Structure 1
Amino acid sequence: MKVIVFALENKEYGIEVERVRTIERPMPITRVPNTSDFVKGVANMRGVIVPIISLRRMFGLEDTGMTSQTRIIVVAFNGMEVGIFVDSANDVMDIDPDDIYAPAELVGRVESKYLRGVTNIGNGRLLVMLDVEQLLKN
């Protein structure tokens, strides 16, 4: 399976390519009142209003602000598109679904309900696979 590899707090995560619609640089976001603190707001992406969430906030990490590497990964879920702020989007790679193992303590503070599992991608690197459906059910 092909996955988009992105970074968050010096850890590498993956999302299946078929879930990803586009990867964008940060853009103006309109804050929406009375939403969860991890919801940054909405953005106009080519005429479509897309909700934008901060994975850092969702995972209880400190918000470090944007850098030149910050990206918004737009994913599809139940006919809806949602943008996810990440520290950087690094790579596309192939992984074997049979090599994805249940989440372990290695993933640190991230709640395991948002994770599909962990896989070794070589050279001592672990890739934490996100479960997009669980992530966006909130």
Structure 2
Amino acid sequence: MENVSKYVLFQLDDERLGVNINQIHSIERVPGLTKMPEAPEFVKGIVELRGEITTIVDFKQMIQGVDTDLTQETRILICQLDGLKIGLLVEAAKEVVDIPADQLEEPPKMVGGLKKEYINGVAKLNDRLIILVDLDRIFSKEEVEEIHAVQ
């Protein structure tokens, strides 16, 4: 049997990104956010999901310094980082796909505004390029500490 991994695909501008499904607990619609005073700009607020308070971080703000526009397509990817449950605000998250290991390639130095160290690889799937990101690499130790301070 071929070595295949499942990825949740999400949108960043015109780029399609994927994150290993093992890093995602759930995909949620955007509920009302409670703003947090003195939070870093990339922290959009907190929400209560299934009885737990979750900090919401704007992925686009972290990567590009620009806020994600909230639309009907906007979603929150719930993930666990360093024992911290956070929600990543993304433009859209529409599908889960299987990506065979033989479809993965080393990433170029920079793809879609993402630094190489954030990227596990690039996959070709049905004539589409998908940038595979590693959530553990996107957040610096300082950013994780800032998010901890908010909760």
TM norm structure 2: 0.82
State percent identity of aligned pairs. Answer: 30
Change in 2 beyond 3 A, CA 1:64/1:86: closer
Provide, for residues 7-47 of structure 1, a one-character-per-residue CA deviation record: whole Å limited to 9, x for no partner.
11011111111111111111111222223211112111111
Q: Which one of the candidate residues 53, 59, 65 is aligned to 2:57?
A: 53
Matches of 1:97 and 1:129, distance apart in 2: 12
Change in 2 beyond 3 A, CA 1:35/1:111: farther
Q: Following TM superposition, where does structure 1 have runs of at least 4 consecutive aligned residues deviating by more than 6 angstroms?
A: none
Matches of 2:68 and 2:88, distance apart in 1: 15
Is 2:143 the counterpart of 1:133? no
Using the TM superposition, give the Cα deviation of residue 87 of structure 1 relative to its aligned residue in structure 2, in angstroms: 0.7
Q: Which one of the candidate residues 106, 119, 123 is aligned to 2:123?
A: 119
Using the TM superposition, give the Cα deviation of residue 67 of structure 1 relative to its aligned residue in structure 2, in angstroms: 0.7
Using the TM superposition, give the Cα deviation of residue 103 of structure 1 relative to its aligned residue in structure 2, in angstroms: 2.1
Provide, for residues 63-87 of structure 1, a one-character-per-residue CA deviation record: whole Å limited to 9, x for no partner.
2521110000101223321100111
Matches of 1:98 and 1:76, distance apart in 2: 28
Matches of 2:100 and 2:28, distance apart in 1: 27
Is 2:103 the counterpart of 1:99? yes
Determine if contact 2:68/2:91 at 8 Å carries over to the other structure: no
TM norm structure 1: 0.89
Consecutive unaligned residues in structure 2, runs of 5 or more: 144-151
Matches of 1:135 and 1:61, distance apart in 2: 14
